[in-house]
Structure formats: structure tokens, C-alpha cells
Amino acid sequence: MSPSVRIAPSILSADFARLGEEVRAIDEAGCDWVHVDVMDGHFVPNITIGPMVVKALRPHTTKPMDVHLMISPVDTYLDAFAAAGADILTVHPEAGPHIHRTVQHIKSLGKQAGVVLNPGTPAKMLDYLIDDVDLVLVMSVNPGFGGQSFITNQLRKIEAIRKMIDKSGRDIRLQVDGGIDFETAPQAIAAGADVLVAGTATFKGGPSAYADNIRRLRGG
Ligand code: DX5
Ligand code: ZN
């Protein structure tokens, strides 16, 4: 059991016709954050939801809303997602021309800033960002879809970023997203991750299974 590990179910795997109820169900089942995947059909080959849906879901949970922005351009939408009730805004360096400026913009909105690295993006990308971010997200699949297989070599990247974070002495969450299940969750935790995003593995089996799924992902 790892009490410090946070579980952030990705609502991409929820029943979209009952999203409010689904968010309430994962909240009651003991999730730590609610992970919202925002996709534009341009930066990634899928389209999901926008700030209106974040705003509509906000009253359904008191847990932090962790909004993963897979959109380009991204800067023009930060204010809208902040106003909609996001607590954490996570951005890809490839989604805009000036990632450092984007991080500062998020912080100026009073929100936590996350930077996300695609499987092909090196940890080195963080060298001059680590002093400013609240969260680093390592993608263990290529972004766009739920239900993909965990890319094992990302464990090495998690280990490298864990060292970088510890060296910084700052309070930074290290999150992993994609293909997290009961087998890969312990591997990601052992590599140094402390927040696990899980879509398929959380929502499998329907609402009566959510609490057990979350507990098992946490390592309990
Ligand atoms: C992928 C998304 C993930 C995805 C995870 O682009 O960022 O959050 O929903 O889904 P699973 O847990 O099913 O791999
Ligand atoms: Zn995500």
C-alpha cells in the first residue's frame, strides 16, 4: 500500500451520457483527482471536450480537476479552462511556441502548472522548466486514445525525472498516463511516479467496481 500515491481516473473511459454521475461515483469511490482529457482533433487524432464540460462537471466533485490539454494552440484557451474550474492545467511543449511563457501564464491564473512529455520527448526538455512547474506528466502511450498498451521504456524516463525532482528540492508531482493497470501501476510507482492516471482500469466493471479498482491501483 502506498498512501502517498494519488489516483486520477481519466473520465475518457467514463460513460459520456452520464458524466456527472460518473464523476460523483469516482469521487465517492476514493479517487484523489479527476483527470480530464481535452483533445482537439489537430494536436491529437481525437476530439473530446471543452471548457463548458469542465464547468458543468465542477459541481459534481470537490476533488482537484486535473485538466490535460492536448490542443494546439493552447495559450488562447488557458483562461477559459481556469474560469471553468480546473485546478491543474497540464500542457505539451509541442502545443505552442513558448512553453516557459505558457507555464507562467497558468501560474498567473492562480492554477497549478503541469508539463507533459510524449513518449518521444526527452526528460531534458525539463531542464529549464523544473524550477517553475508543479507537476510533470510522463505519457506512457502516445496521446489521443484510452485503452493503449504501456510503453515500457518510459519507466527509465520516470526514474530520470524522479532524480531531477528530488535534486530540485521542490514539491513537484510526478504523474504517469497511459496503459496503467494492476500490472503496470506498481512498476510506475517503483520508478518514482506518485500520481497515476487510469481510464480503462478505473472504469472497468462499472460503478460497483470503482472503489476496488482504485484501491488496487494504489497498491492496496
Ligand atoms: C490519452 C489520455 C489518457 C487516457 C488513459 O491520450 O491522456 O489519459 O485516457 O487511458 P488508459 O488508462 O485507458 O490508458
Ligand atoms: Zn490524459
Domains annotated for the chain, with CATH where assigned, are 6-218 (3.20.20.70)
pLDDT digits (tens, 9 = 90+) for 138-187: 999 999 999 999 999 999 999 999 999 999 999 999 999 999 999 999 99
Return mean pLDDT, the chain: 97
Please tell me the pTM assigned to this model. Answer: 0.98
Mean pLDDT value across residues 62-88: 99
Q: Is 177 annotated as a binding-site member?
A: yes
Ligand 1: nearest atom to the Cα of 142: 6
Mean pLDDT value across residues 51-79: 98
Q: What is the pLDDT of residue 97?
A: 97
Angle (deg, nearest 10), helices 184-191 and 154-168: 40
Residue 6 C-alpha cell reads as 494519488
Residue 109 C-alpha cell reads as 491564473
Q: What is the pLDDT of residue 220?
A: 81
User: In angstroms, what is the span from residue 176 Cα to ligand 1's centroid?
Assistant: 10
Parallel, antiparallel, or unpaired for β 173-177 and 195-198? parallel
Q: What is the pLDDT of residue 184?
A: 98
Using the structure block, give the residue that is written with the C-alpha cell 507537476.
Answer: 135
Contact at 8 Å (CB) between 157 and 15? no
Residue-wise DSSP of 190-212: HHT--EEEESHHHHTT-GGGHHH
Residue 53 C-alpha cell reads as 464540460
pLDDT digits (tens, 9 = 90+) for 101-123: 999 999 999 999 999 999 999 99
Ligand 1, residues at Cβ distance < 6 Å: 10, 12-13, 35, 37, 68, 141, 143-144, 146-148, 177-180, 197-201
Q: Is 37 annotated as a binding-site member?
A: yes
Query: Would you please indicate which residues are annotated as catalytic (active-site) residues?
Result: 37, 177
Q: Is 220 annotated as a binding-site member?
A: no
Mean pLDDT value across residues 58-84: 98
Q: What is the pLDDT of residue 24?
A: 98
**Largest interatomic CA distance in the chain:** 45
Q: What is the pLDDT of residue 98?
A: 98
Q: What is the pLDDT of residue 1?
A: 43
